[in-house]
Structure 1
Amino acid sequence: MSNSKRVAILISGRGSNMMALVEQARGYEVVLVASDKPDAPGLGWARARGLATFALSPGGIGKARYEAQLDAALREAEVGTIALAGYMRLISDDFVARWRGRIVNIHPSLLPLYKGLDTHARAIAAGDAHAGCSVHVVTEELDGGAVLGQSRVAILPGDDTETLAARVLTAEHALYPRILSEYVMTPLDRIRDTALKLPETEERPSHGQPTFFVGENQFAQVRDDHHGDGRHVVCVRTSDQDEQAMLLEAAPDIYSRPAYLASSGWVGMTLSGDVDWPLVEDRIARSWELAAPARLLEAGGR
């Protein structure tokens, strides 16, 4: 089975979003840059950075043969996720079906508003206060797949399509890498990425569970159906049992009492369903502070 973290980026031009995806890669690896235009400037940028490329024009061979050869190149590179980045060719329903749930795209509007082309002109003409961009899953419906994330950009007095497009493009470069990272990373990947960025941390198994330490002190542990409890959680420290009780009462859909750790003031945070990742990441960092030696805190470790 292909690895979702192995990403191919499809472009048709200079590939500025492709560059952002490569330069800000976190949790995924760009293994192929492909284009329907062999002279696309973005291909040269990719090759200069040692990235594998595929380039083929559909002209003369037809859409079906073109997509068959593109599909073969993607599978040879063991691609798991396709990111469209200024790819200006409509993808066939058959191709979408073969890669269902594994193609994402960035679109320069706040979907479901303004699917298709001329998005900035349409937003200005409508008198909207904001334009923006959306990362979405690609389906057979044009710009109709589930929206994974959006960024809003104010429409300023005097804006025309060029000035607005430039600011939206800047927002795209920040949004797309972050959303792609989130899309391909498992909950454990995201927790590992957060925890191991903190000073002097390491991951070691404890009771068969992925556990994160600062020195000899645990500050986070991921549990998946631990001892058959049916829960997928990350366990973190609280300051004391009063804070633990407050969290359990205030948000029982998020926090739970973890077996063997609850008496020490720990809580479990659910990793199932719609996870509040900024909250999880903040609690992991706070848990690290509670476990870290004083010298790290005095040195401004966080």
Structure 2
Amino acid sequence: MLASTNSQITQQSSAPLAIGKRSAVKVSFEFFPPKTEKMAENLWQTVKRLEPLDPSFVSVTYGAGGTTRDRTHEAVSRIRNETRMDPAAHLTCVGASVAEIEEIAEEYWQSGIKHIVALRGDPPEGEARFKARKDGFAGSVELIEHLKKLHDFEISVGCYPEIHPDAASSLADLDYLKRKMDAGATRAITQFFFDPETYLRFLDRALAQGIDIPIIPGILPVTSYSNIKKFSAQCGMQVPAWLTHLFEGIEEDAATRKLVAAMVASEQCRILQKAGVSDFHFYTLNRADLVYAVCHSMGVRPNPAS
């Protein structure tokens, strides 16, 4: 997919890459399963708005503790049956036995859903750390190994450019990513980040450890700065001072906040494109407009032939 060095960051042209042509960039999108009928309608509007961009795949998340299992399956199945998009289902180790996860995976395979985003998962609400069930998987490596024994699933996994909050060190974190690759993962998708250098340095370190699967940058447009602060605290990500400064004083000004968010995400993606990145994964939060605008700025346009 890509290769890069930190020096590439300093060699940026000021001109947008998308001017006058459609880009070869590939994108994918993440959605979360709806909790209400109104949220279900909003999700479907988002799905249909982004479908013409011809994503490589789309994924649907799995709530903490497996709380959205049925809704995840419903959303994935509807995308599979009613759109041209290729859906991937998130599957975690939390809140289910090996037998239950095996049953879910088998149901996905038989219904034609053969791409799984395999994750350890967040601990259930009220618990600070992940604790494996006696009849469950100890972590994502064991989950991946089991899935590959069941069927030849395409498997995406998560990774942390700044280090997983439970990892003993950055080297141990990369070691675990290497184990996931060796177990059968075909791509990794990063947790969100804001400084392009963070991602490019992570790529260099991963390659040095023999990790050669595609590592796709996860892009999160800032729809709410307060939510970003909360998300970042939960997953150990740094919010740079420049981002804080950009959103100062506009938390209650939705229109300005949206314009700033589009600018930040577009510039982040432009820099990564210039560094050779060709695949991007967007955390949509079930909102289409910002993501659509950023994709447009990169030259990702509806396919006239579709």
The TM-score normalised by the length of structure 2 is 0.32
Structure with larger RCO (C-alpha < 8 A, sep 6+) = 2
More strand by share: 1
More helix by share: 2
